[in-house]
Structure 1
Amino acid sequence: MPGPIQSLSRAAAILRLLAGGERRLGLSEVSTALGLAKGTAHGILRTLQQEGFVEQDPESGKYQLGAELLRLGQSYLDVHELRARALVWADDLARAAGETVYLGVLHQQGVLIVHHVFRPDDTRQVLEVGSMQPLHSTAIGKVLVAYDPVARGELGDGPYESYTLRTLTEPADVDAECSLIRERGWADSVEETWEGVASIAALIQDRRRNPVGAVCINGPVERICQDGFVKPSLVASVRSAARAISRDLGAGRF
């Protein structure tokens, strides 16, 4: 098994050293504390500074942690809080709908599944936390694209990948779908990503009414749909769960 990459281990050690101190540290202090040559320590600090993980005081020349680390930490805390607030409501939704429930957030050009509640039956199921789903063809992705300009930007100009005959691949078609989603307040996807699978999703907002994620149910078309359309009762359940999670995040009533 390959060992750790030395330069990364040293960079991590520098970040921990700066995080543990109550003051800025100079190059000599960093190199002495970690037993590194000054040239090595300076090279790592310079790289960390270029990436925003470390800042250098222009007057003293000493180093401290940078704003980029705060941003990354806040992103982690936001997802952690979202998942924590959603646990009970996601479980309730799975029981009420009798289907799989996903909680997802925007991550680069897709949706990252951060919580997965199994369908409440005895069938064999695989945990999908950490998996990615497309933005343009899933309900959970489309609802994020509809409400979050950042998600729309990540989706790009198309044409988009086709997974089935029902996948929307042209930007104009996706944008028209997003307008409909904003009008009615929820998204659906019927065999647009996987044959025989349908999903319904609704947006989750934080206390500033910013889009922070989405919740959806996923299941066979014959259980999610009736007469060619998703069942209104399931739409109501998903929207109710999204509103409850949003309220717990401070969004208030809406």
Structure 2
Amino acid sequence: MPGSIQSLERAAAILRLLAGGQRKLALSDVSVTLGLAKGTVHGILRTLQQEGFVEQDPETGRYQLGAELLRLGNSYLDVHELRARSLMWADDLARVTGESVRIGVLHQGGVLVIHHVFRPDESRQVLEVGSMLPLHATAWGKVLLAFDPAAPGELDDELKVFTRRTLAERAELDAECAAIRELGWAGEREEAVDGVAGLAAPIRDHRGSPLGAVGIGGAVERLAGDGGFPPALVAAVRDAARSISRDLGATMF
């Protein structure tokens, strides 16, 4: 097994040191406490500062934890809170619709599946927690593109084509996102995988901000056989999204 990376170990030690005890520490304090050369500590602190993980007081020169760590920490808490609050509603959605349910969040240019409920039948299925869905070619991704201001910036300049139905032109995708904002939900028919359709709606946090998406996926014949999504399925997905959002403190529903 490969060994640990020394520079990362030292950076982690510095962050832990700044997280405890005094709120602000001088370069010499960090150097002496960790037993590292000042030059080494300064180089690591400078890199951490550039990434937003550490801030330096312009008057005293002392260092403290940066806002980027807070953002990452809140993201971690939000995602775990989302999954915890979603379990019951996701199970109910699978039972009511008879389809598999996925809950996803924006992550590194795609949609990270953080919870997956199998379709409630005897068919063999594969757990997809941890898998990535494309932003522009799935219902979950299009919900995030429509409602999360950060999502469009995650798209590649050239959109990947998965099937003949994939929206590969930005103008077409933008127009669809505008329609999704009007409807409050997104549908997708064979845009990522031939024969598969999806239907999703946004989940909001206590601030009313989009935190993720919940939706169902399955054979296009069941979800959108006549070219449209059955109102009962749309209502079930939207109800699940509202219920999860309310559990997370959202009041706009």
Q: Report the TM-score range of the alignment, normalised by the length of the smaller protein.
A: over 0.9
Q: Which amino acid aligns with 1:173?
A: E
Matching residue of 2:49: 49
Q: Distance in 2 between matches of 1:72 and 1:248?
A: 22
Q: Distance in 1 between matches of 2:229 and 2:102?
A: 17
Alignment of 1:155-170 (within 5 A): 155=155, 159-170=158-169
**TM-superposed deviation, 1:123:** 2.7
**TM-superposed deviation, 1:108:** 3.2
Matching residue of 2:240: 241
Residue 133 of structure 2 aligns to a residue whose secondary structure is strand
**TM-superposed deviation, 1:19:** 0.9
Matching residue of 1:182: 181
**TM-score of the aligned structures, taking structure 2 as reference length:** 0.93
Matching residue of 1:36: 36
Q: Distance in 2 between matches of 1:173 and 1:49?
A: 40
Q: Which deviates further from its counterpart, 83-92 or 22-31?
A: 22-31
Matching residue of 1:228: 227
Q: Which amino acid aligns with 2:228?
A: F
Alignment of 1:170-209 (within 5 A): 170-209=169-208
Q: Which amino acid aligns with 2:185?
A: W
Q: Which amino acid aligns with 2:136?
A: H
Q: Distance in 1 between matches of 2:245 and 2:23?
A: 39
Q: Which amino acid aligns with 2:61?
A: G
Matching residue of 1:118: 118
Q: Which amino acid aligns with 2:220?
A: V
Q: Distance in 1 between matches of 2:8 and 2:24?
A: 21
Q: Distance in 2 between matches of 1:67 and 1:253?
A: 28
**TM-superposed deviation, 1:253:** 5.0
Q: Which deviates further from its counterpart, 56-65 or 92-101?
A: 56-65
Superposed structure 1 runs of 4+ greater than 3 Å apart: none
Output one character per residue of 1:129-177: Cα deviation in whole Å (capped at 9) or x when no partner. Answer: 2221111110111111122232223336x55221111111112211222
Q: Which amino acid aligns with 1:99?
A: E
**TM-score of the aligned structures, taking structure 1 as reference length:** 0.93
Residue 126 of structure 2 aligns to a residue whose secondary structure is coil
Matching residue of 2:20: 20
Residue 24 of structure 2 aligns to a residue whose secondary structure is coil
Q: Distance in 2 between matches of 1:63 and 1:227?
A: 62
Q: Distance in 1 between matches of 2:16 and 2:129?
A: 29
Q: Distance in 1 between matches of 2:17 and 2:208?
A: 37
Q: Distance in 2 between matches of 1:248 and 1:50?
A: 37
Residue 150 of structure 1 aligns to a residue whose secondary structure is coil
Matching residue of 2:105: 105
Alignment of 1:148-159 (within 5 A): 148-155=148-155, 159=158
Contact 2:208 2:252 (8 Å CA) reproduced: no
Output one character per residue of 1:185-213: Cα deviation in whole Å (capped at 9) or x when no partner. Answer: 21111111101111100111223322111
Q: Distance in 2 between matches of 1:241 and 1:12?
A: 40
Aligned residues: 253
